[in-house]
Structure 1
Amino acid sequence: MNIIEVNNLTKTYGEARGISDVSFTVEQGEIFGFIGPNGAGKSTTLRTLLSLIHPTSGSATIFGKDIIKDAPDIKKDIGYLPSEVFYYDHMKVKDLLKYSASFYKKDCSKRIKELVEIMELDVNRKIDDLSLGNKKKVGIVQGLLHEPKLIILDEPTSGLDPLMQHKFFDLLEEENKKGATILFSSHILSEVQRLCDRVAIIKEGKIIKLEKISTLNDDHFKKIHIETSHPIEHNYLRMEGVTDLVVDQHKVSFLFKGDVNAILKQIAAISITNISVVEPDLEEIFMHFYEKEEV
């Protein structure tokens, strides 16, 4: 069963680009990633799904209901965390959460207490006294306090320190085990790899690839930087799997896709003073999808 169905969803802002003919589905119980560089159209898509803005054309359903006509009914079972959270500054955290819980016809007090403990949130502080990270924690608790069937998250970890990010991911996985479907946008590949079953890749407002995360991992690139004691020839590392090769005297960088042993064997013959092998930025990987798409 599909919890979300998006069909040719388009949103334009005059001559400015929004999203164009976006189509995808999210299955019940799935963790679905919506990924792309900043400005690719992720937030516009999510805000349109939530009927915070209306589409120019196309349609979408959530729980089998139309996102525009049935918006009030749909929102009862959705938890939403925007990329940036804004609150009544002079309100205390506990009062804000109590106010948020009042919109749902259920007692959320026990769940609020659980979430506050997990997120290590001081509910007696005023909103305007909180750091960006603590405001994001408030948003997380607010979005999950009513135990929604569908959780929609827009760049959820911005502002959270690494330890809290880890706790947040654990929390999402627990919600998913209890039956919640999760749709979240990100430009951070490691988040997507850890959590998602499938991903949609968006570029300039258009979906260019729908893929299982296992397949995306199979296509995974490594970013390799090398510093050498002697200059090397530019063509030395031109081999299968090497792209974006940049050679500047003693410094070399490139993307590599394939058997890492093959590239290490080639590198072993060079007099190396330093080497790093890291995950490339998601945008670097996107460039390969984009080039493939444009061929």
Structure 2
Amino acid sequence: MAEAIATRSLTKKFGRREVLHGVDFAVEAGSVFGVIGPNGAGKTTTMRCLLDIIRPTSGAIRVLGEDPRLGGPELRRRIGYLPGELFLEGRVTGRKLLSHYEAISGPVSPGRIDALAERLGLDLDRHTRKLSKGNKQKLGLVQAFMHNPELLVLDEPTSGLDPLVQQEFHAMVQEAQHQGQTIFLSSHVLSEVQQTADTVAILRDGKIIAVESVSGLREGAVRHVRFSADGITAHDAGALLGAVPGVGHVELLESNGTVTVSATLEGAIQPLVKALGTLQLKDLVLEEPDLEESVLQLYSIPRDSAPEDPSTRRIAR
């Protein structure tokens, strides 16, 4: 499949400080690709390099098949961009500001701007200086989506939005993907990315430490397990769980002939289910995978131990 974005050995220095360290990734056309990482990880710097807002120190970038340094206005019109820090002219209405953006980005279908504003609950006739942070964010989303660009680059797109508007944003992303558009978005909150993205890249200290599909990330995530059983001792229950791949952090409590167990599970659940099938269970709770915990574990991986070949950057099962 064609690639909408590709970087190779992308490096960026500000003076002597290197903030991107050989970043490699590829975004398939028509996909939703999410980058997550703590503040200061390099997400915004990466996006600005892709859009030629800043120039990389070294490395190669291709955006929609072109070098962004050479693409000029024609390439810019094929992209919708929402910056992480949105600064708006305060002496005009939202409608007039979007009219200005339309002249830059290219034709917008009649009624498109009003339809997007209505979906997001945005009053276009208010002066931008009177808008709250959330409404300014809505205005930024309208300008990014309004001309149906081939590529959407969205930096922390749900910042300042209430939960209902966030859900509408997720619907807009899904519709854009259905139309064949590519979406590249960033966040420091995994739950926001996993609702929309097909693939997630985890960025830490300016380096990609893992790239994984959301479904694969879920399979490899940490689950919490709790159960109680009769007819078995705590010692035997511990031995039984110790033979199950991926089980860890086992805590056992034995009282009045009943053993209560808490544990974590990484990976497939079938071996655990098979083992528990031999017990006289009184209660069983298997929680949804804790993706946040898995990602936090990845943040703790020493940089030097991260794989260098991007084809091998996968979360260990």
Interval containing the TM-score (normalised by the shorter chain): 0.7 to 0.9
Greater CA deviation, 40-49 or 196-205?
196-205
Q: Which runs of 5+ in 2 are unaligned?
A: 227-237, 252-261, 307-317
CA gap 1:217/1:277 in 2 versus in 1, 3 angstroms: closer
Secondary structure, aligned partner of 2:85: coil
CA gap 1:79/1:86 in 2 versus in 1, 3 angstroms: same
CA gap 1:94/1:219 in 2 versus in 1, 3 angstroms: same
Distance in 2, matches of 1:260 and 1:17, equals: 45
Show the counterpart of 1:126: 127
The amino acid of 2:58's aligned partner reads S
Secondary structure, aligned partner of 2:111: helix
Show the counterpart of 1:257: 266
Report the alpha carbon displacement of residue 152 of structure 1 after superposing the two structures with TM. Answer: 0.6
CA gap 1:210/1:107 in 2 versus in 1, 3 angstroms: closer
Show the counterpart of 1:194: 195
CA gap 1:283/1:6 in 2 versus in 1, 3 angstroms: farther
Distance in 2, matches of 1:124 and 1:261, equals: 60
Show the counterpart of 2:24: 23
Report the alpha carbon displacement of residue 97 of structure 1 after superposing the two structures with TM. Answer: 1.0
CA gap 1:200/1:46 in 2 versus in 1, 3 angstroms: same
Report the alpha carbon displacement of residue 243 of structure 1 after superposing the two structures with TM. Answer: 6.3
Distance in 2, matches of 1:135 and 1:255, equals: 42
Report the alpha carbon displacement of residue 118 of structure 1 after superposing the two structures with TM. Answer: 0.9
Find the structure with the greater CA-based Rg.
2
Secondary structure, aligned partner of 2:301: helix
The amino acid of 2:53's aligned partner reads L
Greater CA deviation, 64-73 or 140-149?
64-73
The amino acid of 2:82's aligned partner reads L
Task: Give CA-to-partner distance per residue, 1:171-196, whole Å, 9 cap, x none.
Answer: 11011111111111122222222212
* Aligned-residue identity in percent: 38
Distance in 1, matches of 2:282 and 2:14, equals: 55
Distance in 2, matches of 1:185 and 1:151, equals: 11
Distance in 2, matches of 1:102 and 1:207, equals: 37
Report the alpha carbon displacement of residue 28 of structure 1 after superposing the two structures with TM. Answer: 1.2
Equivalent runs, 1:30-109 vs 2, <5 Å: 30-109=31-110
2:11, 2:18 within 8 Å by CA — same for their partners in 1?
no
Show the counterpart of 2:5: 4
Task: Give CA-to-partner distance per residue, 1:73-131, whole Å, 9 cap, x none.
Answer: 21110001112211012221111111111113424442111111111111111112111
Aligned pairs, number: 281
CA RMSD of aligned residues (A): 3.4
Report the alpha carbon displacement of residue 280 of structure 1 after superposing the two structures with TM. Answer: 4.8
CA gap 1:292/1:12 in 2 versus in 1, 3 angstroms: closer
Q: Which runs of 5+ in 1 are unaligned?
A: 226-235, 247-252
Report the alpha carbon displacement of residue 8 of structure 1 after superposing the two structures with TM. Answer: 0.9
1:6, 1:23 within 8 Å by CA — same for their partners in 2?
yes
TM-score, normalised on structure 1?
Answer: 0.81
TM-score, normalised on structure 2?
Answer: 0.76
Report the alpha carbon displacement of residue 256 of structure 1 after superposing the two structures with TM. Answer: 4.7
Task: Give CA-to-partner distance per residue, 1:13-62, whole Å, 9 cap, x none.
Answer: 12323111111111111111112222111111011101111100011011
